[in-house]
Each structure stands twice: as C-alpha cells, then as structure tokens.
C-alpha cells in the first residue's frame, strides 16, 4: 500500500473489545489484568495492530507463514493473533519466558544476544514482529540488517517503538547517551529515541521499503474511562495517521524487496540521522496546538507512571502472594502504601532487610541502583523489567526463588558476544 490508503490502515481494521480478540490464559494474570481494565486498552493496541497486519499477510500469501517474534516477552502477540492464522511461530528474546511461550503455542523458543547474529535461517521468515525492542538495542542499524537477512524476499517487518518529533528525539538521544557514558543506564534500558524520520533513514539504509509508518495513539492513561469507547480509539488512530511523531508510539510495516542486496545495506554504527521535511512544519504546528487544547484532560505523566507500575507490581502480588521490597523512587509514591510493601532508602539496605522477609519477596529497583548490587550479583535473579517512560525498574528475587536470569547479565559489563542485548518486555 502507499499514500493515503496506507496512512489510514488502522481505520480499516475491525475494532472489537480486545478481550474478545485474545486467547485467554489463566497462567498469565498480568494480561488478564490489562484486559480487565478497559474494553480497548491503549497499552495493548500494539498487539492488536500487529495481529491485524499478520492476518493481512496471511490473506495475501494464502499459505502458512513463518513468524519471528523478535523480543517475544510473555508471548502476547501470539495470543492476539490466535489460531486463525496457520503459522510456525519462533520466539527470540534475551531472557525468554519459555513456559509461557510454549503454552501460548510457539513452536521454537530461542535465547539470543540481540547485538549478535541471530539463530535464524537466512530468508526463512515471512514476518518479523519487533514490538518495543529497538529502543533498547545498542546498534539498531546492525540489527535491522540481520532481520532483513532472516526475511524471505517480499517478507515484512512489523515494528513499534516510543516516538517523538525529530528535535525532541535528538535531545533524548543525547540524554540517553550521556547516561550510558556515565554508567547510569543498565543493560536492557532505553538507549535510543526513534523519531519517524530516524526510522525512515534506518529502514531505507537497511534496504527496506516502507509500507506505512503511523502513530498508534495520542495519549495513554491506563484506566482512563475513555478506553471503553471505540470512538476514542478511532480518534487516537486518526491523530496517529495525521501526526505520527506527536503521540506515544509509532507503528510501521516495512518490506524486504524481492531483489535484496545485503551488501548494499550500511549497518555499521551510525550517528543519529535526521532529514528535513519543511512541508511538515504546518502539521507539527497544528499538532502542538492540538496538544495544548487537550491540556485540560485530568491526568499527569506522574499519575500515569504510578498506575502503570502499580498494575504490574499488583499482578506479581496476586500471582505469588509475595512481599515487595521497594528501593525508594518518586514514581512509586502511590504504591508505597500497599500492605505488602516495605520501602527502603538505598540499595545498600537490601541484604539486611531481605533477611527479615519471606523467600518469595520481590525487590523493586530503579535501573540506577543495579550497579550498586554488582558485588552481590550472584545472590539475585531478574524476574522482570518495567518500562515507565524514561524510567526503567527491575523486579529482582533471591537466586533460587523463581526462574529469572542472573542479575550479572543485566549489569553494564558487556558480554564477549558484543554490547548489551535488549528486551522486548
């Protein structure tokens, strides 16, 4: 597709309550929690649109697909696609949740360093889905090269990331790089800011043709009553089509040409690239005016952050009846009153307080505190990671309690295979 038809692709896809779209699973209470919050949870739209695009691809090819879920997380994409698309599903993650992925129906599950060659056959995949992965990757251009190699000629890449206008993306990218240079960013955190223009440059340099690149929504506020109304979702999608950079997320479909020359792609590390499009200045101005008009909507970024973190942590409590040991952070303010929460001021207090709490206790740590745990990294495993805007939190447990990855895998010392891998959680 091209032109206006592709720009408004989301509006032609059927919109039904997301709880009716997904294959439900009692083994995944976190997904159940999100589905129960709203009929059309904007947080889950990333899986809805990718599932619709996969169904389109199945209709186009009229044969079983090979689908690579690059950064598979808990396997929610497979649950949204359901059983109506004949396909072989391959999950790739740096810390795959194997049990959940196999129960969701994945045929293969691979653990992989995303900054190294992938365990995929060249030219074997019809679809690669990379939902909220590229903002974590050390070398996005390098990774796109390998994904292009994995795709069959004519195969498509479905990708989604946080986004912002080019000028803001440049500032955020510099901010991330400064934190990375100072050792304040943990492995797996946000290290890239991807504007629509930067995405276009990366894809074209990797040899992809772009079908569409649009915004998913204008704003996301978990638990907002408006998320129960299809008209609100359609408004967000219309906004995203008109102003892709003036929202929370960008969604895109790119396609590997039938004649693909891997030598033509420059996938070496590149500085942040931007291309000027003067014709867009009017649209950006209109978008800013629209944002100002929405300033009266009664929520703040802090409230949104608190709600997102509380949702995930509460799901862990319901699942494990665990206690929470929280290293103090302002984003967690609304959650500190939970009866199963113990708040401490610094990470140095963790060992002493942990000895007084149940073995199943989760430890909630901001990324900036991870390095302080390095001397005792062998004592902890990482059970999950929470993305909240520019803040990344980690859920730790004592080693031997649960099936998480060793904390040492997340610290800033790079592995022999290359720089830090990334997570699609």
Tell which wins on pLDDT, 323 or 71.
71
**Per-residue model confidence (pLDDT) at position 321:** 54
Whether the predicted pLDDT of 369 surpasses 60? yes
- Write phi, then psi, for 14 (nearest 5 degrees): -65, 140
Higher pLDDT, 42 or 316: 42
Q: Could you read off the pLDDT of 165-185 as tens digits, one per residue?
A: 888 888 888 888 787 777 776
Q: Where are the domains of the chain?
A: 3-294, 301-410
Asked if 363 and 350 count as a contact pair (C-beta separation under 8 A), the reply is yes
Q: Of the given ranges (70-79, 157-166, 262-271, 374-383), which has the lowest mean pLDDT? A: 262-271
288 confidence band (pLDDT: 50, 70, 90): low
pLDDT of residue 154: 94
pLDDT tens digit sequence for 76-87: 999 999 988 999
Average pLDDT, the chain: 79
% of the chain surpassing 90 pLDDT: 27
- pLDDT score at 210: 92
How many other C-beta atoms are found inside a 10 Å radius of the C-beta of residue 33?
Answer: 16
What CATH homologous superfamily does 3-294 map to?
Vaccinia Virus protein VP39 (3.40.50.150)
CA dist., res. 53 & res. 130, Å (int): 13
As given in the structure block, the two tokens for residue 65 are 């697909």
Does residue 25 carry a pLDDT above 80? yes
pLDDT tens figures, 290-344: 554 444 343 444 445 555 566 666 666 655 556 888 888 766 665 666 677 888 8
Q: For 323-356, give one letter per residue: b (16+ CB within 10 A) or e.
A: bbbbbebebbeebeebebbbbbeebeebeeebee
Q: What number is the average pLDDT over the span 101-116?
A: 90
Q: What is the mean pLDDT of residues 62-90?
A: 93
pLDDT of residue 313: 65
Please give the pLDDT value at position 187.
62
User: Is the model more confident about 421 or about 310?
Assistant: 310
pLDDT in tens, 345-365: 888 888 888 888 888 888 888
Q: Which residues contact 347 (CB under 8 A, 6 or more apart)?
A: 327, 365, 369, 372, 373
Structure tokens at 180: 């990375």
Q: Is the pLDDT of residue 60 over 90?
A: yes
The pLDDT of 95-101, averaged and rounded, is 88
Per the DSSP assignment, residues forming a β-bridge with 128 are: 68, 157
- Give the residue-averaged pLDDT of 272-284: 46
Token pair recorded at residue 405? 């990855």
On whether the pTM is more than 0.75, the answer is no
Assign 154 to helix, strand or coil.
strand
* Residue 167, SS3 per DSSP: helix
Residue 282 or 199, more confident: 199
Q: What is the pLDDT of residue 158?
A: 97
Q: What percent of the chain has pLDDT over 70?
A: 74
β partners of residue 380: 398
Instruction: Calculate mean pLDDT across residues 37-60.
Output: 92
Q: What is the pLDDT at residue 2?
A: 45
Is the pLDDT assigned to residue 63 strictly greater than 50? Answer: yes
Adjacency order of strands within the sheet including 108-111: 108-111, 87-93, 65-70, 125-131, 151-162, 249-255, 209-215
For the chain, helix, strand, coil in percent to 5 are 45, 20, 35
Higher pLDDT, 307 or 214: 214
Quote the pLDDT of residue 105.
92
What is the pLDDT, as a whole number, of residue 416? 36
The pLDDT of residue 48 is 94
Cα–chain center distance at 416 = 25
User: Binning pLDDT at 50, 70 and 90, where does residue 417 land?
Assistant: very low
């Amino acid at each position: 597709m091209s032109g206006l038809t592709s720009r408004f692709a989301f509006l032609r896809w059927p919109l039904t309550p997301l709880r009716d779209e997904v294959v439900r699973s009692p083994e995944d209470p976190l997904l159940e929690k999100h589905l129960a919050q709203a009929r059309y949870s904007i947080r889950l739209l990333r899986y809805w649109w990718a599932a619709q695009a996969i169904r389109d691809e199945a209709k186009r090819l009229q044969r079983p697909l090979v689908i690579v879920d690059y950064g598979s997380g808990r396997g929610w994409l497979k649950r949204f696609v359901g059983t109506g698309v004949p396909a072989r599903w391959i999950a790739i993650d740096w810390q795959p949740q194997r049990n959940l992925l196999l129960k969701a129906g994945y045929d293969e599950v691979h653990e992989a360093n995303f900054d190294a060659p992938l365990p995929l056959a060249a030219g074997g995949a019809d679809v690669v889905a990379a939902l909220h992965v590229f903002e974590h990757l050390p070398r996005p251009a390098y990774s796109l090269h390998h994904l292009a190699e994995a795709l069959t000629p004519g195969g498509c890449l479905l990708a989604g990331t946080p986004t912002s206008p080019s000028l803001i993306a440049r500032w955020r990218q510099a901010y991330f790089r400064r934190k990375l240079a100072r050792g304040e960013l943990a492995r797996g955190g946000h290290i890239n800011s991807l504007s629509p223009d930067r995405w276009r440059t990366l894809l074209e340099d990797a040899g992809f043709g772009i079908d569409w690149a649009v915004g998913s929504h204008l704003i996301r506020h978990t638990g907002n009553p408006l998320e129960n109304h299809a008209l609100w979702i359609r408004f967000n999608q219309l906004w995203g089509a008109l102003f892709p950079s003036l929202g929370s997320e960008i969604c895109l479909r790119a396609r590997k040409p039938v004649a693909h020359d891997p030598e033509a792609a420059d996938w070496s590390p590149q500085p942040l690239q931007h291309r000027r499009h003067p014709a867009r200045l009017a649209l950006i101005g209109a978008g800013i005016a629209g944002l100002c008009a929405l300033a009266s909507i009664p929520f703040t970024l802090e409230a949104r952050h608190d709600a997102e973190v509380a949702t995930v942590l509460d799901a862990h409590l319901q699942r494990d009846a665990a206690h929470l040991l929280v290293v103090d952070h302002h984003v967690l303010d609304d959650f500190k009153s939970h009866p199963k929460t113990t708040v401490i001021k610094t990470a140095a207090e963790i060992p002493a307080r942990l000895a007084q709490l149940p073995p199943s206790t989760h430890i909630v740590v901001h990324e900036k505190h991870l390095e302080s745990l390095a001397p005792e990294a062998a004592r902890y495993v990482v059970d999950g990671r929470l993305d909240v805007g520019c803040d990344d939190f980690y859920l730790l447990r004592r080693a031997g309690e649960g099936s998480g990855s060793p904390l040492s895998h997340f610290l800033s010392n790079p592995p022999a295979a290359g720089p830090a891998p990334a997570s699609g959680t």
